[in-house]
Chains A and B, each alone.
Chain A
Amino acid sequence: METALKTEVKMNWIINESTPPVIETHGLTKTYKGIEALKALDLQVQKNSICGFLGPNGAGKTTTIKLLLGLARPTGGSALIFGKDIKKENDQIRRKVGYLSQDPRYYDYMTARQTLRFTARFFYDGPKSEIESRVAETLELVGLTDKADRPIKGFSGGERQRLGIAQAQVNYPDLLILDEPAASLDPIGRHDVLEVMERLRKHSTIFYSTHILDDVQRVSDTVVILNKGTLVAQGPIEELLAGGQGNTFTLTVKGDSTGVETRLHSQPWVTGIETISKNGKVSWRIQVSDPEIAEDQLVPLAMAGGGVTVSEFGRKALKLEDVFMNIVEEDNHGH
């Protein structure tokens, strides 16, 4: 049922959007030596959104990104970025895209400033002063100004990642594609990266893959979930959270709780109950099919037998992690 909900969310979202998507794939497929790494992917990323691209290891995220950038060739289907075909017009696409790879590597003999200058020169002919100004501005954005003239060889993983973000957006890209931008960062580094992404959203669409679901929930507008090369969910993050496991309530009582569970079980809209007893209190995690009835009736039902006081009641606040786990697990069992 959840999968059906996700699909519904996805379809509504796609139909409702009127502006042409920045990224659009149709049946995009990639096979490596007979193994399908990506299976007929239909994906849409809307303009000026921050789209989190999620999936377990080996789900096909990096493959998708490489196909979009022309670093790998699709074995089937097609994809458009800014309405341009990724196979035929990749040169034009790359002029408007910034990319950070999963494990960013640069020329070790260069300094951060030289690296950014080199990157900027792919896009701009000059003037030199403006390029230098842009490089300095970018270094400042990622907090590398004080290390700008040190060779990259001595950079930590976090500093390399910052440099990666800097080089990805030195050309004012209309689309930023980031593959695990916060993977090797400490919490402060992660926070900084998310802040930079927030700042960049004014000018760019950001499509980024990650494993850190808390970050996705914090900054993303939309989410795409991939599992075993197949798209399993796609849509605005609020809709995904609301349409997912939002039908779970928690109820905690003090006193004589005998009979409460039986009364709850007897309701046709209660689909599952999990009991937790702790320090004389009994808590239930109750899954329901109709959240509105549940909201009205759960507390009266619990107190109906008397001798019980409700100390805690509420709808379970869902995290993206829960939704992600549910979707992926359900998809795994379905296959």
Chain B
Amino acid sequence: MDTNVSALVPRHVNGWRMGLANMLAKENFAWWHTRRWWIQILVAVLILNGSLALNIRDPLGALVDLQAINYLNTSALFVPILIVILAQDAILNERHSGTTAWVLSKPLQRPAFIFSKVIAYGLGFLVTWVLIPNIIFYIQLVAAGRVGLSIPGFIGLIALSYLNLLFYLTLALMLATLFDSRVPGLGISLLIAWTGPMQILARPMEKYVPWLEDILPWKLISSFGEPPLAGYLALGAKLPTVLPIIATVLWCVLFVAVAIWRTGREEF
């Protein structure tokens, strides 16, 4: 039973990666060795593909496209709520229960703690809320008779859906490091997610802050009278603008940077 101490190989990773591999393994374990993954898939498929399945029976192409846009809008409106709730909990539950302080007393760097959440939740949500529902979405469209969908273009749609999700994931993680309660994070995230698609706000926004829709992820998968950028990609058409894509990527980077900065200053 006695361990051969000298046979144990110490970890020598230093700097911001210290402890990352172990934390990431633990986060992935929590995603894929518990019920979490299949519950997420079940909920995602029920909400996104289930609502589409109920409305897509009409064989007319135009109506199918309309339902496809509805699918993307549903995804843009409801996925952020679930992502924000789950991602906030990733940080807040740990902070409130004391497990953050526990793991940070081990050889773990604070940036590694945040990166482990971003990577593991990013991967978990990619599979459960983006890949699987969107593959089923593609099958549903094809089954309903929609022709002319390009597979590379549809991969582009999936990429933009994922980018939209990453925006809310990183935003939620950042807000969870800034606030101790779930309310501000949920409020701010919902404000961003729901303001864009609200018809009542479309005119004032166009008048006073016309640039806003170009620097937020609204246009990625939501429809503003014109098809979302994901729709252009799905049909293999040229994108009218790439600004929202670049802006969203930059937001994600900024949110992660703020989360790391804030966690670095946190006292336990």
Which residues of A come within 8 Å of B, CB atoms? 66, 69-73, 91, 94-95, 97, 99, 101, 103-107, 109, 114, 118-119, 121-127, 130-131, 133-134, 136-137, 140, 172
Q: Is B10 positioned at the interface, with any CB of A under 8 Å from its CB?
A: yes
* Cα of A49 to Cα of B9 in the assembled complex, Å: 28
- The answer on a CB contact under 8 Å between B268 and A66 is yes
A-B contact pairs, 7 of them (CB 8 A): A71-B104, A101-B98, A109-B30, A121-B11, A122-B11, A126-B9, A134-B8
Contacts of B97 in A (CB 8 A): 105
On whether the beta carbons of A118 and B1 are closer than 8 Å, the reply is no
B51 touches A (CB below 8 Å): no
Which residues of the other chain, A, contact B226 by a CB distance below 8 angstroms? none
Known contacts A71-B105, A126-B9, A137-B1, then 7 further A-B pairs from the complex at CB < 8 Å, ordered by chain A residue: A72-B268, A99-B105, A101-B98, A105-B99, A122-B107, A124-B9, A172-B5
Q: B11 and A123: CB pair below 8 A?
A: yes
B7 touches A127 (CB 8 A): yes
How many whole Å from B263's CB to the nearest CB in chain A? 12
- Residue B25 interfacial (CB < 8 Å): yes
> B108 at the A/B interface (Cβ < 8 Å)?
yes
Stretch in B14-22, B77-85, B132-140 with 4+ CB within 8 Å of A: B14-22
Query: Given A107-B99, A130-B4, A133-B3, A95–B105 Cβ distance below 8 Å?
Result: no
Residues of B within 8 A of A66 (CB): 101, 267-268
B238 within 8 A of A: no
- Do residues A91 and B18 form an inter-chain contact, with CB atoms below 8 A? yes
Question: Quick check: B268 and A125 within 8 Å, CB to CB?
Answer: no
Judging by beta carbons under 8 Å apart, are B105 and A94 in contact? yes
Known: A109-B34, A121-B25, A124-B8. A101 touches B14 (CB 8 A): no
Would you call A124 and B102 a contact (CB within 8 A)? no
Interface members, chain B 1-54 (any A CB < 8 Å): 1-5, 7-11, 14, 18-19, 22, 25-26, 29-30, 34
Q: Do the beta carbons of A130 and B7 come within 8 Å of each other?
A: yes
Assuming A71-B267, A101-B98, is B30 touching A107 (CB within 8 A)? yes
Contact (A94, B99) CB under 8 Å given A130-B3, A130-B4: no
In the complex the two chains form, is B7's CB within 8 Å of A118's CB? no
Residues on B with beta carbons closer than 8 Å to the beta carbon of A107 = 26, 30, 99
Q: How far is the CA of A283 from the CA of B18 in the complex (A)?
A: 66
| Interchain CA distance A79-B106 in the complex, whole Å | 18
Scoring A104, A107, A122 by chain B CB atoms within 10 A of each residue's CB, the highest score goes to A122
B-chain residues with CB within 8 Å of residue A73 when the two chains form the complex: 267
Closest residue on chain B to residue A32 by CB atoms: B267
- Min CB distance A29 to B, Å, is 14
**Given known A118-B26, A123-B11, contact A106–B99 (CB-CB < 8 A):** yes
B105-134 interface (Cβ within 8 A of A): 105-109
Within 8 Å CB of B8, what residues of A?
Answer: 124, 126-127, 130-131, 134
Q: Is the Cβ of A140 less than 8 Å from the Cβ of B1?
A: yes
- Establish whether residues B1 and A101, one from each chain, have CB atoms under 8 Å apart when the complex forms: no
CB nearest to A135 among chain B residues: B3
Nearest Cβ on chain A to B93's Cβ, whole angstroms: 10
Q: Which residue of B lies closest to A105 (CB)?
A: B98
Contacting residue for B19 out of A105, A122, A134, CB 8 A: A122
Sort A-B residue pairs by CB-CB distance and give the 8 closest, nearest first.
A105-B98, A122-B106, A134-B3, A71-B268, A72-B267, A99-B105, A121-B22, A125-B9
Contacts of A137 in B (CB 8 A): 1-3
Chain A: which residue is nearest B104 at the CB level?
A71
User: Closest Cβ of chain A: how far from B104's Cβ, in Å?
Assistant: 6
B contact residues around A104 at 8 Å (CB): 98, 102
Residues on B with beta carbons closer than 8 Å to the beta carbon of A99 = 102, 105
A71 and B9 contacting across the interface, CB-CB below 8 Å = no
Complex-state Cα separation, A76 to B208, whole angstroms: 50
Asked if residues A94 and B107 are in contact (CB atoms below 8 Å), the reply is yes
- A112 to B: closest C-beta gap in Å: 15
Name the residue on B nearest A131 (C-beta): B8
Please, what's the 1-or-0 string for B186-206, where 1 marks a CB less than 8 Å from any CB in chain A?
000000000000000000000
In this complex, what residue of B is CB-closest to A103?
Answer: B98
Q: Which residue of B lies closest to A63 (CB)?
A: B267
Most buried by A among B14, B97, B105, B107: B105
CB contact between A125 and one of B1, B5, B11, B104 (< 8 Å): that residue = B11
Instruction: Say whether A133 contacts B11, CB under 8 Å.
Output: no
A139: min CB distance to chain B, Å = 10
- B residues within 8 A CB of A136? 1
Bound-complex Cα distance A123 to B107 (A)? 7
Q: How far is the CA of A71 from the CA of B266 in the complex (A)?
A: 8
Given the interface contacts A91-B14, A131-B8, A134-B8, does A122 sit within 8 Å of B102 by beta carbon?
no
**A95 close to B101 (CB less than 8 A):** no
Q: Which residue of A lies closest to B265 (CB)?
A: A73
- B108, A122: Cβ atoms closer than 8 Å: yes
Contacts of A101 in B (CB 8 A): 98, 101-102, 105
Q: How far is the CA of A114 from the CA of B25 in the complex (A)?
A: 12
CA distance A125 to B8 in the complex (A): 8
Nearest CB of A to B115, in Å: 15
Q: Which residues of A contact B34 (CB under 8 A)?
A: 109
Within 8 A of A (CB), among B164-212: none
Closest Cβ neighbor of A69 among chain B residues: B105
With contact pairs A107-B26, A107-B30, A122-B106 given, residues A71 and B101 touching in the complex (Cβ less than 8 Å): yes
Q: Once the chains are docked, how many angstroms separate the CA of A200 from the CA of B5? A: 15
Q: Which residues of B contact A71 (CB under 8 A)?
A: 101, 104-105, 267-268
Q: How far is the CA of A304 from the CA of B30 in the complex (A)?
A: 81
